[in-house]
Structure 1
Amino acid sequence: MPTGVALREVRAQLFAAADRVLRRDGPSGLTSRAVTAEAGCAKGVLHRHFADFDAFLAEYVLDRVNRMDDQAAALREAAGTGTVADNLTDALIAVFGSVAVAIVALITFRDELRARLRETWPAGVPVLTEAVEMIRDYLEAERGLDRVAGDPDGLAPTLIGSAHLLFADRTGPAPDRAAVHGMVTSVLGLGSA
């Protein structure tokens, strides 16, 4: 790796490498050596920019959570357009089609990472709690437009938990859109709408 590369570029390169390793090899395969090999840089590069591997992982997880902001804004803007079930189906597929499922497994797998995340994220699993908030805000907007009758505070975690169960097997095929849509309509009490 050339010297003088800005920290931002190194972080982005290492985080993208972590995405690939985590998706391919799962949490047990995500090591500092695997990340730096995937990024094409020396192992020392990671340790020059992060106190240790768990500090790297904590920043990686929070970076991936922050990437959900654009998706949350787009979902809120979709309120009142299309169908609620279609909008939620698309949002859930985007969340769980990303590295989110693997991040949940990673957080569960590493005690020290959970401890580090608690320093800045007081409760829950960061990716999932952020997704619940995104869905709740959208449902609240739709309820304000009289397109959703249920309680967003109960529906949002139910939708996220149910979607997580659909996508949980990272080694098997992802559920198809029809399966996700069916779950959404069932949770929302829409029948086959």
Structure 2
Amino acid sequence: MPTGVHLRDVRKQLFDAAERVLLRDGPSALTSRAVTTEAGCAKGVLHRHFEDFDAFLAEFVLDRVDQLAPRAVALRESAGAGTVVDNVADALTAVFGSVAVAIVPLVTFRDELRARLRQDWPAGVPVLTEAVLMIAGYLTAERDLGRITQDAEVDMLAPTLIGSAHLLFADRNGTPPDAEAVRRTVTAVLAGVTP
């Protein structure tokens, strides 16, 4: 790789390259060499900006978690519009149609990455726990509007929806579920709380 090439936003370029490698080739192919090759830069660039590769991966995961924030805001703002089932199904498809599904095995199988993430994220897989918070926030807003029952246990429904959606989308090499499959799953989970 050529050296001396100016990179405008090194972190973004490296994170985007890591996402492409992760989505295309899976977590086992995600190495510092693969990332820098994909980014079109020398391997030393990554190590100049991050303590080591696991530090890079931890920041990559947290960066991708931060990308859920605008989705969470948009979902919460959709409360009262459309149907609850469609809003949740669309949100789940957006989350799991992204890099989120690939991040789960990455975190699961890299002990040092998990240890580093625990410094900032005390429990769970960051992208999944953030998605749970997003869905819980939305369901709470819908409960406040009376569009789901007042006794709806949002703190149980949200992780159930995330877990169910993760199972639908988890086959990285297969065809993603169609919109109707996601909608049926959401309908089943929310059946007891939607009027």
TM-score w.r.t. length of structure 1: 0.95
Alignment of 1:150-165 (within 5 A): 150-165=152-167
Q: Which amino acid letter does the alignment assign opposite residue 129 of structure 1?
A: T
Q: Which amino acid letter does the alignment assign opposite residue 156 of structure 2?
A: G
Q: Match of 1:175?
A: 177
* 1:163-191 per-position Cα deviation (integer Å, ceiling 9, x unaligned): 00000110101000000000000000169
Q: Match of 1:51?
A: 51
Q: Match of 1:88?
A: 88
Q: Which amino acid letter does the alignment assign opposite residue 153 of structure 1?
A: D
1:74 is aligned to 2:68? no
Distance of aligned partners of 1:137 and 1:167 in 2 relative to their CA distance in 1, 3 Å threshold: same
1:118 is aligned to 2:118? yes
Q: Match of 1:98?
A: 98
* 1:93-147 per-position Cα deviation (integer Å, ceiling 9, x unaligned): 0000000000011000101000000001011110000000000000000000111
Q: Match of 2:168?
A: 166
Segments of 4+ moved more than 2 angstroms: 1-6
**Partners of 1:16 and 1:190 in 2: how far apart?**
41
Q: Which amino acid letter does the alignment assign opposite residue 67 of structure 2?
A: R
* 1:36-89 per-position Cα deviation (integer Å, ceiling 9, x unaligned): 000000100000000000000000000000010000000000000000000001
| Residues 5 and 41, structure 2, Cα contact 8 Å, conserved in 1 | no
**Partners of 1:147 and 1:153 in 2: how far apart?**
17
TM-score w.r.t. length of structure 2: 0.94
Q: CA deviation at 1:4?
A: 5.2
Q: CA deviation at 1:148?
A: 1.1
Q: Match of 2:62?
A: 62
**Partners of 1:143 and 1:119 in 2: how far apart?**
34
- What SS does the corresponding residue of 1:171 show, helix, strand or coil? coil
Q: Match of 2:189?
A: 187
**Partners of 1:158 and 1:5 in 2: how far apart?**
42
**Partners of 1:118 and 1:184 in 2: how far apart?**
30
Q: Which amino acid letter does the alignment assign opposite residue 183 of structure 1?
A: T
Q: CA deviation at 1:5?
A: 3.8
Q: CA deviation at 1:151?
A: 1.2
**Partners of 2:18 and 2:104 in 1: how far apart?**
14
Structure 1: runs of 5+ lacking an equivalent: none
Structure 2: runs of 5+ lacking an equivalent: none
Alignment of 1:134-149 (within 5 A): 134-149=134-149
**Partners of 1:99 and 1:125 in 2: how far apart?**
13
